[in-house]
Amino acid sequence: MTSEEPRHAGEGERPAPDAEQLALIRGPARSAPRERARPRTWRGAPLAESLPVARVLVDKGLVHLDRFFDYAVPAAMADEARPGVRVRVRFGAGERGGRREGGGLVGGYIVERRPDSDYPGVLAPLAQVLSTEQVLTPALLRLCRAVADRYAGALADVVQLAVPPRMARAERKESPPPAAPPAEPAPGTWSRFPQGPGFLRSLARGGAPRAVWTALPGPQWPTELATAMAAALSSGRGALAVLPDGRSAARVDDALTALLGSGHHVLLTADAGPEARYRRWLALSRGSVRAVVGTRAAMFAPVPHLGLVAVWDDGDAAHSEERAPLPHAREVLMLRSAQENTGFLLGAHSCTVEAAQLVESGWARSLAADRETVRAAAPLIRTVDDTEQARDAAARTARLPSLAWRTARDALERGPVLVQVPRRGYVPRLACERCREPARCGHCHGPLASPAADRAPDCAWCGRPEPHWSCPGCGCTRLRATVVGARRTAEELGRAFPAVPVRTSGRDHVLPSVPDRPALVVSTPGAEPVVEEGPGYAAALLLDGWALLGRPDLRAGEEALRRWLNAAALVRPAGEGGTVLVIAEQGLRPVQALVRWDPPGHARRELADRAVLGLPPVSRMAAVSGSPEAVEGLLRTATLPGDAEVLGPVPVAGAGGPRRPGGPPPGERWDRALIRVPPGSGAALAAALKSAQAARLARRQGPPVRVRIDPPDIG
């Protein structure tokens, strides 16, 4: 702490110790009022000779402080105080009384060195340069700025997500020079995709192709993803891949190692620990390593001269950052791809509506295999309609359809059988009694919910009652609550095969893999073990159709299909006896898409529907929530774009429900309003909400409001 000096009594009353220096930093012919001209922590230390002003991003995530502050650079720090380094500065209410030191020390980053400042007062000096490591590079700063704007958040909040905390020990270690770029990789199994080799060639030649990749079922995708990264590396550029969890990241990391050895890439996941993580981050930042595979925080990894950004399975909820301003990895990587002119690869077994929109709009090209190739790689999909079971709740949980039993029995002779069961905790809402289509509001297409069993339903978005609902699909006027739960079916299954070992994998106990031997593997979605070595599961039983499809969430169908496809992709091809049995009504759109193994087709149809109904991502939405007065106040003061449409506010289920972080405090009522704008007005909406939020906080007009762009739970 070179600048932590004791306070001199009466210092404030004296003229500045070095009037010439202060004139220099105050800028040309500016006569600041005398009381403002008193330096605060100033000890008369000389200033840096060139560029004596440092523009600093103060590390406080307050929306109304979302700007830079200028500080004087003492001569002693002239060399160290480079753009991008971490600093400590005094920040807070000034010492206008001349008696106190300024506010406390806070952290920050130098974003720029300048010859002068436009601040009319006297600049406080930098208190300390914490480290000479230039962590917030201009490219990273620009990305953080774009992400903050996109999500109506504060720059400092985004920087906190992007730059890991400092670990001094990790900084002391030197990083080796980078390895020479590897040779251009052979396409390998990318040859199964007509556009695959061309995509790789473009990357290898320094191009920036953008693709939405529908991966084929089977275990090849990690190697294919790694091959695309290697192609970008072979052009002398860097590559980055974001995966939804540590397990899948490790698989791609292994594939890269198999392809290139260990000198070219790092794995950036939470389980490495903070110090190792920072060391690897520094290896990238210093240009010692050019490729990174990781979970969502890796989307900000400081790869210089990036050639490819990739994201796997963008429908997985883990790609949504849960800290403010809640950015999504796919969106961040899209911004990054545009800013740094890189290739873009969005891969998955399924296809989100956002991915379909990227193809539809022409922003990305589709990278999919021919129908015959898909059919040869996919397992046989069979469906069991459960309408018969639905008549009797007891039968539904206790009895297994005989086809499921036979499928499992036959498959267990050849290998392991995967049983996918739902996770607990789905919110029951209303659906058509006959066709089970989730019931939607006739006015805004929000989901209907029943406040009490014997009352008419309300819209959960706009609050309008809907006493005379009728199903647009089948004309039925009767509603039913959605049913959840099929776990006992799996237990029943275990009892039906007493001779076979039953293994379970779930949120608490994730089983990474199982041997290629007969066993029942019961797993919740997302925790399915892969089969070691062999051709994959002999069969899969997908039992969670009801729980998923009954949800009124906009993404219910897409999410059901995504989970089914991820499980079904672990099953061996139909030609080798692989069978998937899904318990769900055959006529449902996601079920048909699974049977035909056509996830892009499903996403395209969903996209067309949403365009008609004005739902995201065809329109952009924002959620504003907080106490009723706060929400009302923000909506009143905000100057929204002219084409914005406000839905609600309506009360949010608070007390009694599961307590979510950042949600309403127990016992208090919270409201939520949704604002939707047509395509093209998203940026204006974010900007309007951000400035209204800033004004509100600055003037302290009542309790805080939460603003969320692209709310995930609008249905």
Partner DNA sequence: AGCACGCCGACT
Partner DNA sequence: GTCGGCGTGCTC
Residue given tokens 């006015």 in the structure block: 443
123 or 594: whose CB is closer to DNA? 123
Nearer to DNA, 100 or 604 (CB): 100
Cβ distance 127 to 1 under 8 Å? yes
Q: What share of the chain is helix, strand, coil (3-state, %, to 5)?
A: 35, 20, 45
Assess 600 for contact with DNA (CB under 7 A): no
Q: Check residue 216 for interaction with DNA (CB under 7 A).
A: no
- In the set 42, 91, 151, 221, which binds DNA (CB under 7 A)? 91
Question: At its nearest, how many Å lie between DNA and the CB of residue 12?
Answer: 10
Nearer to DNA among residue 243 and residue 692 (C-beta):
692
93 binds DNA (CB under 7 A): yes
488 belongs to the binding site for DNA (CB under 7 A):
no
**Helices (H), ranges, 340-457:** 353-360, 371-377, 387-390, 393-398, 402-411
Binding span for DNA by CB under 7 A among 85-93, 171-179, 276-284, 370-378: 85-93
Q: Which stretch binds DNA (CB under 7 A): 113-121, 146-154, 187-195, 382-390?
A: 113-121
Considering beta carbons, is residue 217 or 325 the nearer one to DNA?
325
Q: Which range binds DNA by CB under 7 A, 84-92, 134-142, 303-311, 548-556?
A: 84-92
Among 42, 71, 109, 564, binds DNA (CB under 7 A): 71
- Pick the closer one to DNA by CB: 96 or 478: 96
Q: How far is the CB of 705 from DNA (least distance, A)?
A: 10
Backbone dihedral region for residue 419 (phi beyond 0: left; psi -120 to 50: alpha; all else: beta): beta
Site for DNA, residues 547 to 586, rule: CB under 7 A: none
Handedness of CA 396, 398, 403, 409 (dihedral sign): positive
Tell whether residue 434 is a contact of DNA (CB under 7 A): no
Closer CB to DNA, 182 or 702, in the complex: 702
Q: How far is the CB of 655 from DNA (least distance, A)?
A: 24
Instruction: Give the separation between CA 425 and CA 418, rounded to whole angstroms.
Output: 22
Token digits for 50? 């060139």
Per the annotation, does 144 bind a ligand? no
C-alpha span between 497 and 244 (Å, rounded) = 34
- Within 8 A by CB and 6+ apart from 246, the residues are 269, 270, 271, 295
CB closer to DNA out of 25 and 381? 25
Given 40, 251, 562, 610, the residue binding DNA (CB under 7 A): 40
Bridge-based pairing of strands 343-348 and 210-214 is parallel
Which member of 32, 119, 276, 399 binds DNA (CB under 7 A)?
119
694 binds DNA (CB under 7 A): no
- Tell me the one-letter amino acid at 692: A
Judged by CB under 7 A, the stretch of 97-105, 225-233, 288-296, 585-593 that binds DNA is 97-105
Per CB under 7 A, 103 contacts DNA: yes
- Residue 96 touching DNA (CB under 7 A): yes
Phi/psi for 493 (5° steps) reads: -60, -40
Q: Does 69 bind DNA (CB under 7 A)?
A: yes
Told to check if 65 binds DNA by CB under 7 A, we report yes
Tell whether residue 94 is a contact of DNA (CB under 7 A): yes
Helix 556-568 to helix 599-613 angle, to the nearest 10 degrees? 170
Which of 3, 117, 489, 505 forms a contact with DNA (CB under 7 A)? 117
Q: Which stretch binds DNA (CB under 7 A): 59-67, 157-165, 288-296, 651-659?
A: 59-67
x/- contact string, 649-688, with DNA (CB under 7 A)? ----------------------------------------
363 binds DNA (CB under 7 A): no
Closest to DNA by CB, 74 vs 343, is: 74
Phi, psi of 75 (to 5 degrees): -55, -35
How far does CA 347 lie from the centroid of its chain?
A: 15
Is 104 one of the binding residues for DNA (CB under 7 A)?
yes
Name which position in 47, 85, 124, 297 contacts DNA (CB under 7 A): 124
The residue written with tokens 């999909």 in the block is: 381
User: Does position 123 bind DNA by CB under 7 A?
Assistant: yes
Q: Which residues contact 593 (CB under 8 A, 6 or more apart)?
A: 561, 599, 601, 602
How are beta strands 53-58 and 105-114 bridged, if at all?
A: antiparallel
> Is residue 121 at the binding interface for DNA, with CB under 7 A as the rule?
yes
Q: Please, where are the H alpha helices in 151-297?
A: 155-162, 168-172, 196-204, 221-234, 246-260, 274-285
φ/ψ of 241, rounded to 5, equals -135, 135
Q: Which is nearer to DNA, 40 or 150 (CB)?
A: 40
Q: How many angstroms from the chain centroid is the CA of residue 536?
A: 30
Hey, which residues does 531 pair with through a beta bridge? 514
Q: Which of 44, 46, 92, 176 binds DNA (CB under 7 A)?
A: 92
Closest CA to 269 of 288, 248, 290: 248
What number of CA atoms fall less than 13 Å from residue 427's CA on the CB side?
18
> Residue 528's CB: how many other CB atoms inside 10 A?
24
**Which CB, 35 or 370, lies closer to DNA?**
35
Per CB under 7 A, the list member of 62, 183, 608, 655 interacting with DNA is: 62
Q: Does 236 bind DNA (CB under 7 A)?
A: no
Nearer to DNA, 230 or 707 (CB): 707
595 and 381 in contact (C-beta within 8 Å)?
yes
Window 389 to 418, contacts with DNA (CB under 7 A) = none
What is the closest distance, in whole angstroms, from the C-beta atom of residue 696 to DNA in the complex? 8
Alpha-carbon span 687 to 171, nearest angstrom: 38
User: Which range binds DNA by CB under 7 A, 98-106, 321-329, 336-344, 393-401?
Assistant: 98-106
* Closer by beta carbon to DNA, 123 or else 381: 123
Rounded to 5°, the CA angle 548-550-553 comes to 75
Q: In whole angstroms, what is the distance from residue 402 CA to residue 238 CA?
A: 53
Is 444 known to sit in a ligand binding site? Answer: yes
Q: Is 258 in the site for DNA (CB under 7 A)?
A: no
Cα angle at 669 between 664 and 671, to 5 degrees? 80
Stretch that binds DNA, among 99-107, 272-280, 321-329, 451-459 (CB under 7 A): 99-107
Q: Of 373, 697, 711, 712, which lies in the binding site for DNA, with binding defined by CB under 7 A?
A: 697
How many of the chain's residues bind DNA (CB under 7 A)?
Answer: 32
Q: Does 12 bind DNA (CB under 7 A)?
A: no
Number of C-beta neighbours around residue 181 at 10 A: 16
Q: Does 34 bind DNA (CB under 7 A)?
A: no
> Tokens standing for 572?
């061996």
Q: Give the Å distances, CA to CA, from 496 to 121, 492, 650.
A: 80, 6, 48
Residue closest to 634 by CA, chosen among 687, 713, 701 = 701
Query: In 3-state terms, what secondary structure has residue 255?
Result: helix
**Hey, what amino acid is at 306?**
L
Q: Is the CB of residue 693 less than 8 Å from the CB of residue 707?
A: yes
Rounded CA gap, 684 and 705, in Å? 19
The reply, when asked if residue 476 is annotated as ligand binding, is no
> Would you count residue 43 as binding DNA (CB under 7 A)?
no
For the annotated binding site for Zn(2+), the residues are: 432, 435, 441, 444, 459, 462, 471, 474
User: Interface residues with DNA (CB under 7 A)?
Assistant: 40, 62, 64-65, 69-72, 89-97, 99-100, 102-104, 117, 119, 121, 123-124, 697-700, 704
- Residue numbers in the known binding site are 432, 435, 441, 444, 459, 462, 471, 474
